[in-house]
Amino acid sequence: MNHRIFSLVMSRLLIAVITLVIVSFAVFFATMMLPGDTATILLGQAATPEAVAGLRTAMHLDEPAIIRFIRWFGGLVTGDLGTSYANDMPIADLIAGRFINTLKLAGVTALFSVPIALTLGITAAMMRGSLYDRVVTILTIGVISVPEFMVATSAVLVFAVYLKWLPALSFANEVHSITDLLRVYAMPVITLTFVVSAQMIRMTRAAVVETLNTPYVEMALLKGASRQRIVLKHALPNALGPIVNAVALSLSYLLGGVIIVETIFNYPGIAKLMVDAVATRDLPLIQSCAMIFCLGYLILITLADILAILSNPRLR
Asked if residue 207 lies in contact with residue 243, where contact means CB atoms within 8 angstroms, the answer is yes
**Rounded distance between C-alpha atoms, residue 84 and residue 94, angstroms:** 8
Which sequence spans correspond to the domains of the chain? 99-305
| Average pLDDT score over the chain | 81
- 10 Å CB burial of residue 222 (0-12, 13-18, 19+) is exposed
**Rounded distance between C-alpha atoms, residue 261 and residue 153, angstroms:** 10
Q: Which amino acid is at 6?
A: F
**Rounded distance between C-alpha atoms, residue 80 and residue 209, angstroms:** 48
**Rounded distance between C-alpha atoms, residue 95 and residue 220, angstroms:** 54
Q: How far is CA 192 from the centre of its chain?
A: 10
Q: 90 has which bridge partners?
A: 83
Residue % of the chain over a pLDDT of 90: 4
Q: What is the DSSP letter of 158?
A: I
The pLDDT value recorded for residue 14 is 92
pLDDT tens figures, 213-265: 777 777 777 777 677 777 777 677 777 777 877 788 777 777 767 788 888 88
Q: What are the b/e assignments for 182-215, b being 16+ CB within 10 Å?
A: ebbbbbbbbbbbbbbbbbbbbbbbbbbbebbeee
Asked if residue 83 lies in contact with residue 91, where contact means CB atoms within 8 angstroms, the answer is yes
**Rounded distance between C-alpha atoms, residue 136 and residue 144, angstroms:** 12
83 pLDDT more than 80: yes
Q: 132 has which bridge partners?
A: none
Other C-beta atoms lying within 10 Å of the C-beta of residue 120? 21
pLDDT tens figures, 1-40: 577 888 888 888 899 899 999 999 998 888 887 776 677 6
Q: What separation in angstroms does the CA of 73 have from each of 66, 88, 115? A: 10, 20, 39
**Rounded distance between C-alpha atoms, residue 7 and residue 1, angstroms:** 10
Q: H or E segment at 187?
A: helix 178-212
- pTM (2 decimals)? 0.78
pLDDT tens figures, 56-79: 777 777 778 888 888 888 888 888
pLDDT tens figures, 299-308: 888 888 887 7
Q: What separation in angstroms does the CA of 223 have from each of 190, 209, 228, 229, 237? A: 44, 19, 14, 12, 19
At 171, the pLDDT band (50, 70, 90 cuts) reads low
Q: Report which of residues 283 and 18 the model is more confident about.
A: 18
| Segments in 59-126 forming alpha helices (H) | 65-78, 91-126
> Is the domain covering 99-305 a CATH 1.10.10.60 domain?
no
Mean pLDDT of 82-103: 83
pLDDT tens figures, 178-207: 676 677 788 888 888 887 888 889 888 888
The pLDDT value recorded for residue 241 is 74
Asked if residue 265 lies in contact with residue 190, where contact means CB atoms within 8 angstroms, the answer is no
